Structure 1
């Protein structure tokens, strides 16, 4: 009896680091995939993701054997982050402050991940589509709350306000212009927010 317990304990002791290491690698792969997709698009190769993560390509394949699963994980991670920002916006006492927080978060993520929004349903499937609809509902509430408090212009539908979050990415996606190092996307955001403020 006593001779078996140390063996079981030893087995558990050797299994734990493997699980922790696997979790760490999974987090590194997902973070690297986000960066790689943001810079190279959805067609980025597993080799590029592995290089970015500092792991072997086999680690990426073991974690995400199906490419659609990896893309869904990337898209879901971005949406989860934005949903958390939307909740923070709703929790702000000042509706304009909450709106500015969400608008800035959406605009910066759109600029950093240009081209992803049109691929959510195709690559993410129902789970990602559900997260996107959750974000849209929260964004609508944030926008309408700011309008109800008289802080945000009322002559724009909430959908139109959200479309404006893509403006900072237009210069890179359509015109091929790099952001001005002296101003960057934040300058464009400041102009947009000034134009959206009521009164």
Structure 2
């Protein structure tokens, strides 16, 4: 049976609102807050996601799908550095926007999210090693160490409580990190 257009629209609104709410308030955000953010009744949220883990899995899957798509775009770039920069920036910005969410991947995501996470890790490794093989990215760092650096902008707000400079946001930090990673 086909899903009604308005139901599809509401489902997309709920998921987008859940992403925003979880990013700003964390995993304990209430269904009422999500419904208010989505502009729907709380019953709509409960009908779509009767279990909290289903909602968290949907949020995590949505974020991972977006990052996997970006990783594929990065691998399609002729210039390995351009592809690496695209993925590194996307990972850093998503990490900063969704601080604390990655720790819940195994708890709330289930097997489908775990599979997506492993796919993203493999793609990220390939993007990093490709940039290293082309001599564009420092070779003295393992791919896992490069990946850990994507969390640096998140440390500013999460751990240190520093708000990004409105004039530069996380972009200045990313520029410095990318400059330090690039060879020559």
Which band: TM-score by shorter chain? Answer: over 0.9
C-alpha RMSD of matched pairs (Å): 1.2
In structure 1, the partner of 2:71 is 86
Following the alignment from structure 1 to structure 2, what is the Cα–Cα distance between the partners of residues 21 and 116? 29
Following the alignment from structure 2 to structure 1, what is the Cα–Cα distance between the partners of residues 77 and 102? 27
TM-score by length of 1: 0.91
Following the alignment from structure 2 to structure 1, what is the Cα–Cα distance between the partners of residues 3 and 15? 18
In structure 1, the partner of 2:89 is 104
Cα distance, 1:17 vs structure 2: 10
Moved over 3 A (4+): none
Cα distance, 1:182 vs structure 2: 1.6
Cα distance, 1:145 vs structure 2: 0.2
Cα distance, 1:183 vs structure 2: 1.3
Partner SS for 2:163: coil
Following the alignment from structure 1 to structure 2, what is the Cα–Cα distance between the partners of residues 165 and 181? 20
Q: Deviations over 1:57-112 (max 9, x none)?
A: 00000000010000000000000000000000000000000000000000000000
Partner SS for 1:18: coil
Rg: which structure is higher? Answer: 1
Cα distance, 1:18 vs structure 2: 7.0
| Unaligned ranges ≥5, structure 2 | none
For structure 1, which segment, 177-186 or 99-108, has the greater mean C-alpha deviation from structure 2 after superposition? 177-186
Q: Deviations over 1:161-191 (max 9, x none)?
A: 0000000010100111100112110010000
For structure 1, which segment, 118-127 or 93-102, has the greater mean C-alpha deviation from structure 2 after superposition? 118-127
Partner SS for 2:129: helix
Q: Which has the higher contact order (CA 8 A, sep 6+)?
A: 2
TM-score by length of 2: 0.98
Cα distance, 1:51 vs structure 2: 0.3
Cα distance, 1:140 vs structure 2: 0.2
Q: Deviations over 1:29-64 (max 9, x none)?
A: 000000000000011000000000000000000000
For structure 1, which segment, 152-161 or 117-126, has the greater mean C-alpha deviation from structure 2 after superposition? 117-126
Cα distance, 1:198 vs structure 2: 1.1
* CA shift in 2, pair 1:141/1:126, >3 Å: same
Q: Counterparts of 1:32-111 in structure 2 under 5 Å?
A: 32-111=17-96
| Unaligned ranges ≥5, structure 1 | 1-15
Following the alignment from structure 1 to structure 2, what is the Cα–Cα distance between the partners of residues 163 and 80? 20
